A and B are shown apart, each in its own frame.
Chain A
Amino acid sequence: MSKTMNDSALAGLPSRILLDEVVPARAPWDHLVRSGETLRILDLEGNQAVDFLLYSADDDTERYSAQDTIAAQGNIFLRTGTVLMSNEGRPMAAISATTIAYHDTIGGACSCESNTLRYGHHTKSQHACVENFLISNARHDRGKRDIVSNINWFMNVPVEADGTLGIVDGISAPGLYVDLKMLMDVTAVISNCPQINNPCNGFNPTAVRVVIAAEPSEGR
């Protein structure tokens, strides 16, 4: 993947590119992102759900909280301007830009176990986001207790008037992205969702691109 400044996928980012990687379809990924840096996640082929958690780098018992984020903004959808809150009510990151109308944080991560409920026991052996979160977290001495309600970038979960909700066809497209400006030092954890039983990945999991960028004046 090109790292040159004429790469249009980098448009609008601070000029110093610290990392530019492709996360393969179905894979976990995690990385330290410092306060002030921007993490861009690009949906390369369209409608690829990216399950996402944040842990404070200083104290990982402080982590992303979907509930605190929803309560703080009074809305279940994540849009430009949304501040991602921690379980201690502190701002962790802000969505500084996104080219899609909204993202999900109520649908949670797929797991082998919940797949058995949603689709049947024949799906238990399929790879799932909770497996990816466990793999990533195990690298940092974290485990199952550290998995909480997550963000699903590029995933569409509407709620109807009577409360009916579901993961429906996506509203993303190739090249759409979300930029997160970090407000504290964090470990960002991704599961590039391997789900094939609902439309969150268009029934075809694909790669995504992650870029970490900083202003020339900023540290590391």
Chain B
Amino acid sequence: MGASRTADPAGARAHARAMAGTRTEAMPTVPATKAEDLPQGVDPEAMLWEETIGTGGHAAKELTRGARMRLIDLRGDACVSMLVFNAERPAERLNVADTVKVQWNAYLKAGRLLLSDMGRVLMSLLHDDAASHDPFCGPSNRRTPGAGPNWSARPNARERLLLGAAKFGLGRKDVHPCINWFKGVRVAEDGTISVQTGPSGPGRELVLRAEMNILVVLANCPHVLDRREDYVATPVRISAWRGPVTTLDDPIRNATPESVRAFLNVEEYFRR
């Protein structure tokens, strides 16, 4: 056996430091101002986050009110489960039931809101060329066929979301009902659901706007009803940047009586 290069601290340090500069697909760009995929018209200095979440990966981030968050389904087969919390008081969180009930519609698309359980808007959907999303099925879990624990090559989405939330001091009670982006569900008259598992064309894109100071937790795992034998969740690129707080004349704010009141409740919350 030859002498190990990592037998002493100096050797181990040199070995560790030699990795610097390695590029892989699933990684953040730090600082975000050096974003490789700068959104059109965005000043690099306004960038808050650029990260590609690979197959089975997860990430979490705090975003301030007004920030934009873009998700790109790079190869057309991502499934991004998302939790959203009020970062200032995380007992307030996304409520999928209120989101569909208050807006009188099950299908998320551009112009729709993500509502909290406190009657406020957490995020609004500015742009969406997928229009195929799922507020009904939730994340996969340890008992989902083909899904394994966090330490396996096929992690389940629920435990990914738990890890992301746990890094902000949250726990199992905080993995609330989620939204799955890019894998749509349609409901038949008798209640039967069908899942649009894809694959779809590459490059489908969503842009969301943070309407409060929020924490988002994301996991990119196969949809709970995706019965393909392979573990399919192709990489998704996340970008976020600073943006203006929604103004009183915003068309999404003023689209419906319910949206006006949801924004009024947000504006009241920030009257401090």
Q: Find out whether the CB atom of B105 lies under 8 angstroms from the CB atom of A163.
A: yes
**Shortest Cβ distance from residue A148 to the other chain B in the assembled complex, whole angstroms:** 6
**Chain A residues at the B interface, C-beta cutoff of 8 Å:** 61, 65-68, 70-71, 74-77, 87-90, 102, 106-109, 111-118, 120-121, 130, 143-150, 157-167
Which DSSP category, helix, strand, loop or mixed, fits chain A's interface? Answer: loop
Across the interface, name the chain A residue whose C-beta is closest to B107: A163
- Which residues 162-197 of B sit at the A interface, judged by CB distance below 8 A? 171-178, 187, 189-193
Q: Which of A76, A130, A157, A160 contacts B136 (CB 8 A)?
A: A76
**Shortest Cβ distance from residue A69 to the other chain B in the assembled complex, whole angstroms:** 9
For B91, B106, B189, B261, the residue with the greatest tally of chain A CB atoms inside 10 Å of its CB is B106
In the complex, chain B residues whose CB is within 8 Å of the CB of A150: 97
Interface size, B (range): 35 or more
Query: What 0/1 pattern do residues 70 to 114 of B give for CB contact below 8 A with A?
Result: 000000000000000000000100011110111011110000000
In the complex, chain A residues whose CB is within 8 Å of the CB of B115: 114, 117
**Binding-face segment, B45-53, B59-67, B141-149:** B141-149
Across the interface, name the chain A residue whose C-beta is closest to B261: A117
In the complex, chain B residues whose CB is within 8 Å of the CB of A102: 191
Q: Find out whether the CB atom of B191 lies under 8 angstroms from the CB atom of A88.
A: no
Query: What 0/1 pattern do residues 109 to 149 of B give for CB contact below 8 A with A?
Result: 00000010111100000000000000011110111100000
Across the interface, name the chain B residue whose C-beta is closest to A161: B189
Q: Which of A90, A107, A114 contacts B143 (CB 8 A)?
A: A90
Compute how far the CA of A38 lies from the CA of B105 in the bound complex, rounded to whole angstroms.
35
Q: Find out whether the CB atom of B96 lies under 8 angstroms from the CB atom of A149.
A: yes
Q: Is B265 an interface residue (CB 8 A)?
A: yes
In the complex, chain B residues whose CB is within 8 Å of the CB of A106: 97, 100-101, 106, 136
Q: Find out whether the CB atom of A74 lies under 8 angstroms from the CB atom of B105.
A: no
Compute how far the CA of A158 lies from the CA of B100 in the bound complex, rounded to whole angstroms.
12
Contact A74:B225 (CB < 8 A) given known A108-B97, A111-B117, A163-B107: yes
Q: Is B262 an interface residue (CB 8 A)?
A: yes
Q: Find out whether the CB atom of A117 lies under 8 angstroms from the CB atom of B258.
A: yes
Q: Find out whether the CB atom of A113 lies under 8 angstroms from the CB atom of B191.
A: no
In the complex, chain B residues whose CB is within 8 Å of the CB of A130: 117
Compute how far the CA of A120 lies from the CA of B262 in the bound complex, rounded to whole angstroms.
10
**Shortest Cβ distance from residue B195 to the other chain A in the assembled complex, whole angstroms:** 9
Q: Find out whether the CB atom of A118 lies under 8 angstroms from the CB atom of B176.
A: no
Compute how far the CA of A117 lies from the CA of B116 in the bound complex, rounded to whole angstroms.
11
Q: Is B158 an interface residue (CB 8 A)?
A: yes
Compute how far the CA of A71 lies from the CA of B174 in the bound complex, rounded to whole angstroms.
20
**Shortest Cβ distance from residue B97 to the other chain A in the assembled complex, whole angstroms:** 2
In the complex, chain A residues whose CB is within 8 Å of the CB of B98: 108, 111, 114, 117
Contact A67:B187 (CB < 8 A) given known A74-B193, A106-B97: no
**Shortest Cβ distance from residue B20 to the other chain A in the assembled complex, whole angstroms:** 41
Q: Which of A68, A88, A90, A166 contacts B104 (CB 8 A)?
A: A166
Contact A165:B258 (CB < 8 A) given known A61-B173, A67-B136, A67-B138: no
Q: Is B232 an interface residue (CB 8 A)?
A: no
Contact A113:B118 (CB < 8 A) given known A66-B177, A68-B138: yes
Compute how far the CA of A167 lies from the CA of B91 in the bound complex, rounded to whole angstroms.
26
**Shortest Cβ distance from residue B124 to the other chain A in the assembled complex, whole angstroms:** 14
Q: Which of A113, A146, A165 contacts B106 (CB 8 A)?
A: A165
